[in-house]
Amino acid sequence: MGIFIALLVFSFLIFFHELGHFLAARYFGVHVEVFSIGFGKRVLTKKFGATQWSLSLIPLGGYVRMKGQDDANPELKSYDSDSYNSKTPFERIVISFAGPFANFLLAFILYLMVSIIGVPTPLANVGKLMDKSPALDAGIQLEDSITNIDGRPIKYWNEIGESLGQNDQEHQITILRDKQYIDLSITPKLLETHNVFGEDDKRYLLGISPNPNKIEHIPYNLEDGLRFAYEQTQYASLYIVKSLQKLLSGLIPLENLGGAVGIVNTTSKVSQMGWIALLMFTALISVNLGVINLLPIPALDGGHILFHLYELLTKKPANEEIMLKLTLLGWGILLSLMLLGLYNDINRLLG
C-alpha cells in the first residue's frame, strides 16, 4: 500500500507540473498533441478534445508535446498559428516556466492544507540529552517539560531557542517533572553540532533535543496559514538550491544524490506516518521538482527559458546546430544523473 501511495503521489506531482505547461500553452493558443504521465511506450491513451492523454510504461516523469516542439529533435519546427514556434519568446518563456511554477503553487497549497488541519509543533519536552552538556550538568532529565525561561512562559520547543539567544549568559528556567515545578540555573555552552546538510557547526546550546512523542497539532487562521505556506515554500526552495550548490561544490558527496526509486521508497515510509507528514513531504518533493526543472540545462525547462531569453534579448533565435548539440549534452547529463541516483538508491536499499 505504501508503494502504491508513493507512485500515486509521484504521478500526481508530474501531472501537476505538466498541467502547468498544458494550461499556459492552451492560453496562448498552442496545440498540445500529447499529455503523458511517464515515458516510453504508451500503455493507456484516451483522446480528449485535440489532445491525447496517456499513461506510459516508465513512470519516472512525464511530458507535454506541443505542436512544433520536440526535445528529442529540436530541428523539427512548425510555424503554424497554433504551433509553439509561432509564439513570441516571452510567451514561450511563460509556457516553459509554467511547469515549475505549478510545482511551487502545489507546494504552497499543500502547506496551506497542513496549516488548516494543524501544523505539527513539538512541545518543550526533553527527548534526548547530550553527554557533558549544560542541561545534563544542570540536572535536566528526559521527559522534563520546560515551562519558563527568565520569566517568559514556554510551551513549544521553538520558544526555547527564541528565549535563550546565541550567547553564554546564565538563564533561570523552570521545568515540570512528575507534576512538580523545579527551578534551575543553566548557561548555554558552545557545542559542536551538525546543520541540516550534515556539516559541522558550533552553536550555543543546552544540549537537548525535543521529544518526538510530544507533538501538538496547531490549526492556523487563514492569514497565519497563508504566511506559513509562503514561508515553508520559500524555505524548501532555498534548502533545495543550497543542497544543489553544496553538491556541485563537493561539500555534499555524490553518493547522497538520490533518484526516483529513493523518492518512491521514502514517500512509502512517510505515508505510514500519517496524512500530515505525507502532505509536507509531498510539498517538499514538489518544490524539488520545480527547482530542478529550472536548472539551465538544455532539455529541462530552465534550458528552454535560457534559449528563449537569448532570443528575446538578441532579437534572433539561437543557432539550431548549437541548440541540438547542447540539448543532446543536456540529455546526457540528465541520463548520467538519473543512473547515478538509481545506483545510489539501490546501494541504500541494499544497506
- One digit per residue, the tens of pLDDT, for the chain of length 351 reads 677 888 888 888 989 999 999 999 999 999 999 898 887 788 888 888 889 898 887 766 788 889 887 665 655 677 788 899 889 999 999 999 999 999 999 999 999 999 999 999 999 999 999 888 899 999 999 999 999 999 999 999 999 988 888 888 899 999 999 999 999 999 998 887 777 766 777 888 888 999 999 999 999 999 999 999 999 999 999 999 988 888 877 777 777 777 777 777 788 888 888 889 999 999 999 999 999 999 988 878 999 999 999 999 998 888 777 877 887 888 788 788 778 878 887 887 787
Domain(s) of CATH 2.30.42.10: residues in the chain? 121-217
59-71 burial code (b ≥16 CB/10 A, e <16): bbbbbbbbbbbbe
Phi, psi of 103 (to 5 degrees): -70, -40
Torsion angle in degrees (nearest 10) through CA of 129, 132, 134, 136 = 50
Helices 275-293 and 222-249: crossing angle, nearest 10°? 50
Q: Which three cell numbers mark 60?
A: 519516472
Q: Which three cell numbers mark 259?
A: 533518484
Q: Which three cell numbers mark 219?
A: 490549526
Q: What is the pLDDT of residue 148?
A: 95
Q: Which three cell numbers mark 153?
A: 512562559
* SS3 (DSSP) at 327: helix
Q: Does domain 121-217 have CATH number 2.30.42.10?
A: yes
CA 2/CA 6 separation, integer angstroms: 6
Half-sphere exposure of 265 (CA within 13 A, CB side): 14
Known active-site residue 18: yes
What amino acid is encoded at 225 in this protein? G
Task: Say which of 18, 199, 311, 320 is annotated catalytic.
Answer: 18
Torsion angle in degrees (nearest 10) through CA of 97, 101, 102, 105 = -170
CB 271 within 8 A of CB 279: no
CA 171/CA 187 separation, integer angstroms: 6
